[in-house]
DNA sequence: TGGCATGTTGGCGA
DNA sequence: CTCGCCAACATGCC
């Protein structure tokens, strides 16, 4: 389950491989979760040059020269497989073949990964966008919901998942179970800064470790949401508890506002 | 060995 | 109406 920093790296690497290439063929192998038919995808995209690949929230976007955009959501277990690697792609959802005889498959054993033609953004702002600032956060946190659920709510902030929500809240010194509307302005300011720094730093770490990453995820550098670690960098025992149906990693160092 | 891990959606109940 | 929780989706991994 790649998260935002992984997707950021995938996007860059996919651009490297395929930007400027013409899409020869798009083939739907498992269309169960797709809103668009294979015919519609072919009509909109085949024969058109791929302009660029970028990330938006937890999606990748393939922007074509005719202004059509193919959105890709990998969900929990989706993977990208290049054709010039091994070719036994099980559980394929869709395949894209480009003009240089190369291409990639989107696979998912659970069948949940999906592509969508010209997706519309949810109302939330992207986690790395400049719209996500202290002021936006202050308004978004006018709710009784616990802070971790707000950070993961894609209608409020797009791109933060379970693992990075824990990392961000530890770095900001805020308990994940804090009531959002009880967090003081100073902490919100800190949180706005930390969201960016944690995500950007993670991308740097991934690029350093796996510069060509296009599938899977790198997360052994996570300091809190990491089952191999017993203590935070400052020596506090890492605790776990369920929240929002997910396992939450945190420590007593984080201040609880309620 | 089998419990755990991941995101989204939609339904339920407090 | 708001918020938290749960099931469903279906498999590989340590």
Q: What's the alpha-carbon Rg for chain A, to the nearest Å? A: 19
Best CA proximity match to A180, nearest among A172, A188, A190, A192: A188
Provide the 3-class DSSP secondary structure of residue A84: coil
Give the distance, in angstroms, between residue A91 CA and nucleotide C10 C1'.
11
Strand B CB shell (< 7 Å)? A 1, 3, 57-58, 73, 75-77, 112, 152, 154, 161-163, 219, 225, 227, 245-247
Paired tokens of A124:
């939330």
Give the distance, in angstroms, between residue A245 CA and nucleotide B10 C1'.
15
Q: Which nucleotides of B are covered by protein (CB under 7 A)?
A: 4-9
Statement: the CB of A1 is under 7 Å from strand C:
no
Best CA proximity match to A241, nearest among A160, A143, A148: A148
State whether the Cα torsion A203-A209-A210-A211 is positive or negative: positive
pLDDT of amino acid A41: 95
Give the distance, in angstroms, between residue A104 CA and nucleotide B12 C1'.
41
Give the distance, in angstroms, between residue A100 CA and nucleotide C8 C1'.
40
pLDDT of amino acid A90: 81
A47 Cα distance to chain centroid:
29
Give the distance, in angstroms, between residue A144 CA and nucleotide B13 C1'.
18
A57: nearest nucleotide, CA–C1' criterion: B7
A2: nearest nucleotide, CA–C1' criterion: B6
Give the residue whose CA sits closest to C11 at C1'.
Answer: A109
pLDDT of amino acid A120: 84
pLDDT of amino acid A103: 92
Low-confidence stretches of chain A (pLDDT beneath 70)? 85-88
Give the residue whose CA sits closest to C10 at C1'.
Answer: A110
Tell me the per-residue pLDDT of A140-167, one tens digit each, with 9 for 90 and over.
999 999 999 999 999 999 999 999 999 9
pLDDT of amino acid A122: 74
Question: Which residues does A128 contact at the CB level (< 8 Å), separation at least 6?
Answer: A4, A159, A196, A199, A200
A151 Cα distance to chain centroid:
13
Which residues 71-100 in chain A have a CB closer than 7 A to strand C?
90-91
Q: Which nucleotides of C are covered by protein (CB under 7 A)?
A: 2-12
């Amino acid at each position: 389950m790649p998260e935002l920093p992984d997707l950021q790296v995938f996007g860059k690497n996919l651009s490297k491989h395929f930007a400027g290439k013409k899409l020869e063929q798009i083939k739907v192998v498992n269309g169960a979760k797709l809103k668009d038919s294979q015919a519609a995808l072919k009509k909109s995209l085949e024969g058109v040059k791929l302009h660029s690949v970028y990330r938006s929230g937890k999606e990748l976007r393939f922007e074509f020269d005719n202004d059509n955009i193919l959105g890709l959501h990998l969900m929990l277990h989706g993977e990208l497989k290049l054709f010039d690697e091994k070719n036994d792609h099980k559980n394929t959802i869709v395949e894209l073949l480009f003009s240089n005889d190369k291409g990639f498959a989107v696979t998912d054993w659970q069948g949940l990964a999906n592509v969508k033609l010209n997706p519309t953004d949810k109302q939330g702002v992207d986690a790395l966008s400049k719209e996500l600032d202290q002021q936006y956060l202050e308004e978004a946190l006018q709710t009784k919901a616990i802070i971790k659920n707000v950070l993961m709510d894609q209608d409020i902030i797009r791109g933060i998942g379970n693992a990075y929500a824990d990392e961000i809240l530890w770095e900001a010194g805020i308990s994940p179970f804090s009531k959002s509307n009880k967090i003081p302005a100073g902490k919100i300011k800190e949180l706005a800064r930390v969201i960016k720094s944690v995500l950007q730093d993670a991308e740097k770490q991934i690029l350093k470790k796996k510069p060509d990453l296009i599938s899977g995820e790198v997360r052994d550098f996570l300091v809190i949401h990491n089952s191999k670690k017993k203590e935070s960098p400052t020596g506090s025992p890492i605790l776990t508890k369920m929240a929002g149906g997910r396992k939450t990693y945190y420590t007593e160092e984080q201040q609880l506002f309620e």
